[in-house]
Each structure stands twice: as C-alpha cells, then as structure tokens.
Structure 1
C-alpha cells in the first residue's frame, strides 16, 4: 500500500481553507516567507475576500475620531485635561504590553489541527508567509470593532465611568500607532533613528529569529522580558 503524499498548498487557489490540511507541516511551511508584494487570495467568496484587505490609511481615518470622542467624553464628565492626558499615556503603555503578549503568545502559538492552522493563518500566519502583502499588514476595521467593543466593556468593569473613555482612547491610540508603525517597518525606508531600529528588529523577527522581537511599536517589553533580537537586520 502506497502512503499518502504530503498535502501541498496551491498558491493559485484561495489559501485559507487549504492550510489546515498541512497538519504538523504547517509550522515549517508558514515560516518560509514569499517575499513578493503580491496579495494572495484568501477566500473564494468576494465579500469575505474584501474584508481581509485594508489600506494602511484606513486605520487612522476610522479610529482617530473615536480616540478624540472617547477622551473628550471623559473631560465632559469632569476629568481635568491634565489627568485625561495622563490616562491616555497610561493607555498607550498598556497597549504596548498587550501588543507584546498577543504577538508572543497568541500570534505565535504552535498548531497542527485543521482549524488551529486555519485560525493561526488568518490572525498572523499569513503575515509571516507573505510579509510584504501591503493590504494585510493592518487589522481590518470590522474585526477590530468587535475586539474594541469587548475592550470597552472590560475597561468599564475595571474602572470608574469618567476614566473608562480616556483609558479606552489611550489604548486605541496605542493600537493606531502600532498598526501604522507596523506598516512602515515593512514598506517605509527610514534612514536613521528609532524607526530604523524598530525596522531592523522586526525584519530580524521575520527573516532570522522569529522567537524574538515581539514588540512592534516599542521594544520596551522585549527588553524587560529578554526577547530583544540583535540589531543587525537580514535583507528582505
């Protein structure tokens, strides 16, 4: 009896419902990047496909007004502008910690089941397989809206009513900074400074040492938790 041949992904067909069949081979496959700027098709359904593609500028366009509304709501409820600014800053720092833990422990979870592979590919694996896909570098607003609603409810339970909007706005502002920075680390060409350093760290994460460099908008928590990669970047 001839053993079954290993499953092979057809890159010319919608990818999402194929990758689950890779089983244990998924981990190795998804971390062999295809560096071209093409945007592969995910779904046969046109509407589902549309929801997976997002221009980078949509993120600030959609979410910065929500940030402003949230912070102004706290001020209208009696929070001083000084304290509102302090809470917004705290929110940004909180986001950088969330960003680190999400990237390290959720986005890099190891899977081998059909649905585990499919879920991982959708949330992050696709980014490692096609790191230069400019339409899938930022989080689609439809998905982000669901997460942000859950985040608002969690903050509302943990804080006083006049603090909730400002803290939510700060975390959301941190997210916007993260998504825009992430896009720029892939497609921008910084010549010096912090952004160049972040780009080097992130390119190392993609092409050399994927178990380090989990911070995107800040390397603070990589320093704290000992996952800071070497500064030398590999060529993409």
Structure 2
C-alpha cells in the first residue's frame, strides 16, 4: 500500500506541520504564496507574538546599540577618522556575512522533520510567504542571541580597542540590510539603483532561487559567480 503524501493545511498553524513534508519540503517551500496576510505559525499566542516584528523596530532597537559600541572605541583613544574606517570595515564585513548566511544556511537543503521545521522558521517562511510584512525582518531577541558569536568572532581578528567599532559597523550593516530587505519587498523605488536592486531580489524569489543571494548588493554574487543567468547575459531580470 502506498503511503499518502502529506499535505499542509494552510488554515492551521504551520510550523509543526512542515516537517512532515520530508523530501517534498524543498519543492513546497519554494512555491511562493503572494499575500500580505501571513500565516499563523503557532497555536500558542505568546510564541506567535515572538515571530512578528515591525520593520521600524530594527533601527529603533539597534541603532542606539551601534552608537554605544562605536563610542567605546572613541573612549579607548581612537580618533574619529580611525573609528570611521573601523565602522566602514565592519559594514563591509557584514556584506560577506550576509551573503554567506543567505547562501549556505538560509538555503541549505533539508528533508528530516526537525531540519525542515528549523529551516522554515529561519528562512523558509519568507520564501513561502515573501510579502508577509511582519516576518520579513529578524526578531530582535534572535538577533541578540546571534550577536554573541559574532562579537567573539570579531574579537579574534581585532584588538580590544578596535573590536567595539568593528562590531558596531557590522551591526550597522545588519540594520541597513534588514531595512533594505523590507523596502525591496514593500517599497516602490523611483531611483534606478533601488529599482534594479528590487528587481534583482524579486528575481531570486520568483525565478532563480538558487542564485542572487546578495540583498544589499551584487558584490559577492559577482565574486563567487552566483549571479542569475539574466544578469550574466547582461539582460535585466
């Protein structure tokens, strides 16, 4: 007797359903549902609340933290031009982190129950419901947890007095990334640069989901040769 294929019930909380898709999860999660109304994740109201974040919470919460880290390096004796260079270096480092996380973690292939569930919470939900405005930016509580390993990583490559400004620059890069990401989905850019970036990102969602991992720029897609075919041929996406 052939086992019946599992079907996700979109009218019920999704998180603990998607794992049952097994190997079919990858195909399911990359068939987007274009609706501004997001699905329910959990039956528990508190857990559901934790998954929802308005975009303006990101700069409101994290920009003061960025300023605090930057001023730490100033208080340790660095000049404003030196600190500015550290911050720009941190922003640049973030662009590589952004690309690496998106390509290798957010787009990892999963097929077991818990791996599918974790992937859906991390990034799969965004591909399934790309216009869900409350689950487009990263929840601050999760960001705070991830800041710990990133702080330790920066400490390994920097001195005690340069670490805060470098980390602050990286955190600033993250804020720019999350706000840019939200704008690319919900904004209506009038300038060519922003309009082309929006087209580039939506191409990743709706055409070639295995290419075009850069959000704030194409830089690392060019370096690591993951540009979408239409970009390589010089056509617009």
TM-score > 0.5 by shorter chain = yes
State the shift of 1:121 in Å.
0.4
Using the TM superposition, name which of 66-75 and 190-199 deviates more. 190-199
Q: TM-score, normalised by structure 2?
A: 0.95
CA distance in 2, matches of 1:128, 1:154: 29
Number of residue pairs the alignment of both structures matches = 232
State the shift of 1:224 in Å.
1.1
CA distance in 1, matches of 2:52, 2:218: 27
CA distance in 1, matches of 2:35, 2:12: 17
Residue by residue, what CA displacement relative to the aligned partner does 1:72-100 show, whole Å, maximum 9, x if unpaired?
Answer: 11000011110100010000010000000
User: Partner of 1:98 in structure 2?
Assistant: 97
CA distance in 2, matches of 1:196, 1:19: 34
Q: What is the DSSP-based 3-state SS (H/G/I as helix, E as strand, rest coil) of the residue aligned with 1:9?
A: coil
User: Partner of 2:13 in structure 1?
Assistant: 14
Unaligned runs of 5+ in 1: none
Confirm or deny that 1:77 pairs with 2:76: yes
Residue by residue, what CA displacement relative to the aligned partner does 1:143-168 show, whole Å, maximum 9, x if unpaired?
Answer: 00000122112222332111010000
User: Partner of 2:55 in structure 1?
Assistant: 56
User: Partner of 2:182 in structure 1?
Assistant: 183
State the shift of 1:228 in Å.
1.9
State the shift of 1:192 in Å.
2.5
Q: What is the DSSP-based 3-state SS (H/G/I as helix, E as strand, rest coil) of the residue aligned with 2:2?
A: coil
Confirm or deny that 1:205 pairs with 2:209: no
CA distance in 1, matches of 2:214, 2:109: 19
Using the TM superposition, name which of 153-162 and 118-127 deviates more. 153-162
CA distance in 2, matches of 1:180, 1:160: 30
Unaligned runs of 5+ in 2: none
Residue by residue, what CA displacement relative to the aligned partner does 1:19-41 show, whole Å, maximum 9, x if unpaired?
Answer: 00000000100000000111111
Q: TM-score, normalised by structure 1?
A: 0.96
Residue by residue, what CA displacement relative to the aligned partner does 1:45-97 show, whole Å, maximum 9, x if unpaired?
Answer: 11111110000000000000000000011000011110100010000010000
State the shift of 1:112 in Å.
0.4
CA distance in 2, matches of 1:106, 1:157: 22
State the shift of 1:191 in Å.
2.2
Residue by residue, what CA displacement relative to the aligned partner does 1:190-213 show, whole Å, maximum 9, x if unpaired?
Answer: 123221111011010000001111
CA distance in 2, matches of 1:66, 1:217: 21
Q: What is the DSSP-based 3-state SS (H/G/I as helix, E as strand, rest coil) of the residue aligned with 2:135?
A: coil
